[in-house]
Structure 1
Amino acid sequence: MTGEEDRAGRTTREDELRGNVAQVRERIRAACAGAGRPEDSVTLVAITKTFPLEDVRTLAALGVTDTGENREQELKQKAPDAPGLTWHFVGQLQSNKARSVVRLAQVVHSVDRLSLVGALSKAAVAEEKTVRCLLQVSLASYGPEGAETGMSRGGVAPGDVPDLAGAVAGADGLELGGVMAVAPLGSDPDEAFAALRAVSSRLRSEHAGAGWISAGMTGDLEAAIRQGATHVRLGRALLGTRPPLG
């Protein structure tokens, strides 16, 4: 798009993203105000799955410097060419992809089994870095039967969190950061995220530094913030309709 076209009133992608960021920031501000929380208590993570590297760079220029990917392949394609960002891996992770993810991401949101803890620890030691890990908690019991789809699949049962947390806390190269969850489709997000908040509270009684709660997406970020989310993961609200996977 040329400068003349811009002056003619056509909206550029940068303009679109700037407007979306402003709207999202206002939603976060209003939700924090309603919950009696400071706005800076919530970190916005842009989920850029299927969107191009140029969008990642534009969001970074607009101040959104926490970026999340669901797939190891896309993380490998984007992260090396967008330095200076905090990269979050938020998708289901196969143990054989652990080193690739650890090489590029600072945070893994989807730790849900002991075998993955071992793979991540081995990779972190090999890469000589420390990776912050969040335990993905299953909230399946708070939604209609069969409601779990996509990213909400997986996750450790709330009762199994202490054992998994102990494994992460004791693993070389890993730091226990907190919990993550997705509210099942058809659930009451306040109820689901209140359950996650309770899990987080119990976790912090044993691991005081594990205070992150990664919860809330485009449709339910307000409920997540009401229930204590420290990180919200937004794709559609920031970037628009998602292109099909290649």
Structure 2
Amino acid sequence: MVRRAPTADLGEVELHHGDLLDEDAVAAAVRGADAVVHLAGLTRVRESVEHPGRFYRVNVGGTATVVEALMSTAAATGAVPRFVLASTGAVYGTPKKQPIGEDAMPHPQSPYAATKLAAEQLLDAAAKTGGIAAATVRIFNAAGSVGGHADADDTRIIPRALAAAAGHIPHLEVYGDGSAVRDYVHVADIATAIVTVLTRSREGRHEVFNVGATPASVADIIDAAEAVTGRRVPVVRKPANPAESPELRADTTKLRGLGWEPRRSALRQLIADQWNPTR
């Protein structure tokens, strides 16, 4: 199901325009499907603080609608469908031990992260019924572009650094000395990770996989953005947020054990693809 019509020709892909909370529309979309990759949802952390009810309604209620519809259609055929949920590394909060493994205790620190964890728990309960083969990918920081479409969320550091380089915004605000490290991964590498876990999901099981590739600091991103664009990124320094973790890196040993390797997540390639998505 999609919110708006895609600009590219999708060939034999059948499109359903609808609302995740519309049970009839979701049931029609998943009818006959042997697998679902659930990417839809609300993602902006600050928005989730302002509108927590909306995030729970969409991210948890919407996931429940899709899972129930898929299990209902599968029960009629006797098949066990596969389901992959796109979650977030934000469910971990800010653990001191780095890199973060899937066995780290979740400690979500925003309504957004809490809704993603709740959706994971719902999927886990559904898998325990034996009616679904499930996996969750905890994506750290998606970046890059695919099909000529780049990340349009300018609250994220890479799009925002490039917007500053292009002059679309006056400057990039940097909190602290720019040494805070986060883990970035190209959207194309996320897609291959999803296919990898989807094909290996097992009936009655729910497994969780971290998806990350390239740890980089804010300063690294600014340097790479200037190198790729040939332009300066104007910066305004702000006091560091004491609650912000100095480092959040994904341990992807489990996913790599299935044969997955990132191919497009080198920092300069991520930024080049974001800067010129049609190249």
* TM bracket, shorter-chain basis: 0.3 to 0.5
Structure with max Cα Rg: 2
Q: TM-score, normalised by structure 2?
A: 0.32
